[in-house]
Amino acid sequence: MAVFAGLVLGVPSGGQIDAPPADPLMRTFFSVRSARPDNTLPAVLRGQFEKDDGTPLKSVPIDLDGDGKEEKFVLCGAPSAAGGYQWLVFDPARGVGRGVVIGTIIFIGRESDGGYPGLETYWKQGGDMSVVFRYTYARGRYGRSGTRALTLWETSEYFRAKPPLDLDRELAEIK
């Protein structure tokens, strides 16, 4: 009986699968928790959001293109029509918006499109559904290049494929 128990406990069931390999293409990530009030942002930026509630803007600075100057992800207080958080990618050195991305968690890629890395965003849409958007950089702006709706189980698998996300280490380089 002890031999049988050892065999049963040592063999994974047919429903268990190994964790997917970690995503080697992700450089770093951040979430809405990282956004801080930013009174240096020009008010004209508000016009680039789908909708705006007039609350103070917050931002997350990060050098996207490796030129030593930080771009800013500007967080709007009003959700998009689809319900996710709106972030304007703003280049303060040039004074231009580089597109709006939607998500609660923003993943910054290692690979670049036109000098800027690809982006992947995640947000919970409601109920048991989540959404992942992919953005690529072309013609001076980020545009959505892919959309994936996830069930609860697919969301779990999505995060299993990512390196461990330590919310106390947002914006740290992922090795």
pLDDT tens profile 93-113: 999 999 999 999 999 988 776
At position 8, the amino acid (one-letter code) is V
Q: How far is CA 58 from the centre of its chain?
A: 16
The Cα–Cα gap between 58 and 96 comes to: 17
The sign of the dihedral angle between the CA atoms of 46, 51, 54, 56 is negative
Instruction: Please give the mean pLDDT across all residues of the chain.
Output: 81
pLDDT tens digits for range 1-10: 444 444 334 4
Partner residues linked to 88 by β-bridges: 74, 100
The Cα–Cα gap between 166 and 120 comes to: 17
Partner residues linked to 143 by β-bridges: 136
**This prediction's pTM:** 0.79
- Long-range contacts made by residues 49-53, C-beta under 8 angstroms, separation at least 24? 49/76, 49/78, 49/86, 49/88, 49/100, 50/80, 50/81, 50/86, 50/100, 51/78, 51/80, 51/81, 52/76, 52/77, 52/78, 53/77, 53/78
Q: Is the pLDDT assigned to residue 132 strictly greater than 90? A: yes
The Cα–Cα gap between 90 and 100 comes to: 9
